[in-house]
Structure 1
């Protein structure tokens, strides 16, 4: 009986030693907060990329047909988009291409 009690007390001493390290709640909270901040930053990046990609695209022919509604003559739009490799553009891309075309010097 004494042997059993000695074994039980030895086991309980070993289990107490394993859990004898103090729990540092501050360090754990800092790690969790750091992870949350990085997750929020990643979500913000994804959201900003999504906003940029939400702009509608239009075919080149639609830009040529409706160029005057956008403030450009049909000939200017056709010239600006003549060497365009894409089949669809956003309005922002279209504006940039037309401005670049109008800024070129004639040789």
Structure 2
């Protein structure tokens, strides 16, 4: 019996899509502690997104965060610190003082 509104061809294609999808999934073993932490992260993401979040999505989120951190350059912060001229002058004076006192270590 074919589902209402679906042709035999579309049911077969859907079946093969599911077979390919399931065959691409992998099983990994994690400790109880790691599993608990991953569930917490998934819960936090669920609250943030307002929808259910799978453990797979939580892992992908962590991978994206890692790639952002690894690709981070200090120059990415340029222009992100909003300070007054007075604060800037104070910081620069402090740096000048430190550099004035600094001496290379003796070998």
Higher helix share: 1
Higher strand share: 1
Question: Would the TM-score normalized by the shorter structure come out above 0.5?
Answer: no
Work out which structure has the larger RCO, using CA pairs closer than 8 Å and 6 or more positions apart in sequence: 1
Given the two structures, how large is their TM-score scaled by the length of structure 1?
A: 0.31
